[in-house]
Chains A and B, each alone.
Chain A
């Protein structure tokens, strides 16, 4: 029978597990493998590519990673210097991530109702471990994001990066700027304190004056606008800043606007790559080299 003839080779496999020598040898193999964890199938299945400093591995390290794959493999050698981009776009995105993170944590402790909202903030400040830090960080990050978004716009303007072929991405950026401001503004009401209440009252009162669509705006009354059916009513879910306004601000703030912003961000980052990556620093063009536009 073939099994009986089989003596030497098969005993190296686990079939010979009742042989102490084979078990010892197997154990040694496994121990050796522990010394080089990067050679194991477990490691390879997770990381897929080598992480040495060969150009191929560096390229694959970026391209085969889902979190990094929005980057190109290589970029303009002068673009990595801080003085060109000021890093404001990237920092804005990082602040958005921080805001999402702290925001979700805050949602665990917050009810968007008139009875509970303010008490939730007090609870957060005095009883929740690190609750005060959490709320502070959410607020200051929001302020910081507005600053970085403004400065990002300023840099993009100064470097003329909105010019062909990046015109559309500039438009997407303007929409993201508006969404950033709206995100911050809708969050202002949520603590349901005097500061937020009056800021939102002042802010939404302007909507009364919308031409045609507001009850105090030019031609508003002539088009049948009253405090109970105009655009301000739609924003607040009522004629005053009250429970419905709180709920609406909450939903805009936590669901709708972040959703829009994330969508536009996807387009924004995608278009950076599709429009040829970061705009510069590119070689300077001279006045004598201007070509006549095609008509």
Chain B
């Protein structure tokens, strides 16, 4: 266990945000879900007792008859905003006094940094480069992430959970977002920062970053496992495997969307375009962990090989 190496990575000034992320993200996930579960308990009570549902103010926050439902922005909100700016300024001051922004040697095109890493917030994309070609990892995936995020309100037909934390009323949505944001985005960022060392090789936390490490990985294309030859045969085989993957994940997504009575009710509200867009985004999202497993466990490089592009 090389504690010094671990400290060296974590204490790098530019990696401080990652350390903050690793603390803040679990905290806020817990903080949000705790309120969601508290609300869910009240929802269950209200569902069970229609009389209570008629009269209850339907929040976990206390409320008594005669209390105003609104408060003045001045001073009740403005004092909080003012306090927030003071606290944030204080944090920034302490952070800026204690830690210096990194400055390396002058830019030198003939001396490659090893590992040469993108800024920490893009390391998820750089880590994706291990599993996909740059045109997917660097162009198609980011585009689909942006399109997918924008599309969320337009494909989520579930009217419940608007303006309050809840888990039980939005299980599908919450799981999908936590999977996409925390597992696929943030964890990939953490892998890219803490795990990937020189030569973009995998070093477990505490392993020494050995610049001379060589790994003899034999990554093979999927068609080599079956021993196919001939451009068209290979392309056809790849297309078939890819098609099978799309079919299986579409089936899985559909299973998820029809899993419960409630899910079916929501699915029934969706338009065809909404459904197809959701399927496209879900299949794309699933393709990342699928390719990761194929690559890390089975040493598969490409599934589909054509003369123009590979997937």
Residues on B with C-beta less than 8 A from A287 are 47, 160, 169, 262
Residues on B with C-beta less than 8 A from A141 are 92
Whether B166 pairs with A284 at a CB distance below 8 angstroms is yes
- Interface: A184 (CB within 8 A): yes
Closest to B75 in A: A58
Whether A217 pairs with B42 at a CB distance below 8 angstroms is no
Among B92, B97, B118, contact of A202 (Cβ-Cβ < 8 Å):
B118
Whether B121 pairs with A146 at a CB distance below 8 angstroms is yes
A244 to chain B, nearest CB (A): 14
Residues on A with C-beta less than 8 A from B32 are 154-155, 158-159
B2 to chain A, nearest CB (A): 24
- Interface: A105 (CB within 8 A): no
Most buried by A among B20, B149, B152, B262: B149
Whether B59 pairs with A55 at a CB distance below 8 angstroms is no
A73 to B74, CA, bound (A): 8
Closest to B189 in A: A150
Given A133-B96, A207-B138, A154 and B107 touching (CB < 8 A)? no
Residues 93-112 of B contacting A (Cβ, < 8 Å): 93, 95-97, 99-109, 111-112
Whether B107 pairs with A159 at a CB distance below 8 angstroms is no
Residues on A with C-beta less than 8 A from B53 are 286
B116 to chain A, nearest CB (A): 4
Given A284-B39, A285-B160, A158 and B108 touching (CB < 8 A)? no
A49 to chain B, nearest CB (A): 11
Given A160-B166, A171-B153, A211-B140, A76 and B70 touching (CB < 8 A)? yes
Whether A284 pairs with B164 at a CB distance below 8 angstroms is yes
- Interface: B21 (CB within 8 A): yes
A91 to B71, CA, bound (A): 21
Residues on B with C-beta less than 8 A from A132 are 100
- Interface: A45 (CB within 8 A): no
Given A143-B17, A193-B106, A284-B46, A77 and B67 touching (CB < 8 A)? yes
- Interface: A164 (CB within 8 A): yes
Contact with A along B60-94 (1 / 0, CB 8 A): 01000001111111111110110011001101110
Among A72, A162, A199, contact of B153 (Cβ-Cβ < 8 Å):
A162
Most buried by B among A68, A133, A143: A143
Residues on B with C-beta less than 8 A from A98 are 89, 92
- Interface: B162 (CB within 8 A): yes
Whether B77 pairs with A75 at a CB distance below 8 angstroms is yes
A197 to chain B, nearest CB (A): 4
Whether A76 pairs with B31 at a CB distance below 8 angstroms is no
**21 residue pairs bridging A and B, Cβ less than 8 Å apart:** A75-B76, A81-B61, A137-B96, A140-B99, A147-B24, A155-B28, A158-B33, A159-B165, A160-B173, A163-B161, A174-B150, A198-B112, A199-B119, A207-B138, A211-B135, A284-B39, A284-B58, A285-B162, A286-B47, A287-B169, A291-B159
16 additional A-B residue pairs with CB within 8 Å, beyond A68-B73, A133-B97, A140-B16: A75-B71, A77-B61, A77-B70, A77-B71, A90-B81, A137-B92, A146-B17, A160-B166, A184-B119, A193-B105, A195-B104, A195-B113, A197-B108, A198-B112, A199-B118, A285-B160
